[in-house]
Amino acid sequence: MAEVNTGDGGGGHGKHDKKRAKKASTRIDMTPMVDLAFLLLTFFVLTSTFNKAKTMEINFPAKPKSEKERMKINNALTFILTREGKDEKEDGIYYYYGEFYGPNNKDGKPATAYTKTDFSKEGLHKLLLDRNKPTIDALDALEEKYKKKEIADTTYKRLALKEKGKKEALTVLIKADDKAVYKNIIDAIDELNICNVGKYAIVDMGQGELDILNAVKKK
């Protein structure tokens, strides 16, 4: 609150003395304003939502017991990420389906051929939608039941996770050479989540896969 102090020395003492104007001093009490500032500060601190750390779940497969043990793959799609071009500034993404077979392998299988794609809507996105169509159709049917309130929210989430984790559901393996950038790996994982791929993992690239990749990039 404001106070005005007038003081006592303004008038003259004699009969004919000239009276002088009284000087007023103003003092503002800042206590209420400080209290209000602290109340507002406390209010905003208590009602604010703090940013949560953004994390991404990434699966890494268990290491085989021996180096000669071959990883059994069921309905797997493997993506190989790299950088290419004259200055190696272009995104390179190749893929193959099923198990990998190198040249002159002991199984007598043809060498695995890589197919090139990109991060466009008609590239990686369309490929995942086509390969993961059975799971996507099953999830759409569950979502329709949920919208009609035929199943509860917890039941919908449980059944959705079950569909994504089925043995016949699409499995995606992501591999990258030493020239790939983290952004491409994150973009690939984001696309997997958008296309409802529930089984994916980041795996080390084998020497045979790297040799074929280098040969393909030179063409």
| 153 occurs within a structural domain | no
| 160 occurs within a structural domain | no
The percent of residues above 90 in pLDDT, for the chain, comes to: 36
| 70 occurs within a structural domain | no
| 12 occurs within a structural domain | yes
Does the pTM surpass 0.85? The reply is: no
In this predicted structure, the answer to whether residue 10 has a pLDDT above a threshold of 80 is no
CA dist 192 and 181 (Å) reads 18
Q: Give yes or no for a contact between 21 and 7, defined as CB atoms under 8 angstroms apart.
A: no
Asked whether residue 183 falls in the same domain as residue 91, the answer is yes
| 140 occurs within a structural domain | no
Asked whether residue 42 falls in the same domain as residue 87, the answer is no
In this predicted structure, the answer to whether residue 18 has a pLDDT above a threshold of 70 is no
Mean pLDDT confidence for 101-120: 89
Residue 123: give the domain boundaries. Answer: 76-132+170-218
**Secondary structure (3-state) at 36:** helix
- In the chain, which ranges are E strands? 2-5, 25-28, 76-84, 90-97, 115-117, 171-176, 199-202
| 143 occurs within a structural domain | no
Mean pLDDT confidence for 185-196: 91
Asked whether residue 196 falls in the same domain as residue 93, the answer is yes
Q: Residue 73 has what pLDDT?
A: 63
CA nearest to 76, candidates 107, 40, 104, 100: 100
**Counted domains in the chain:** 2
**Could you tell me which residues are beta bridge partners of residue 202?**
174
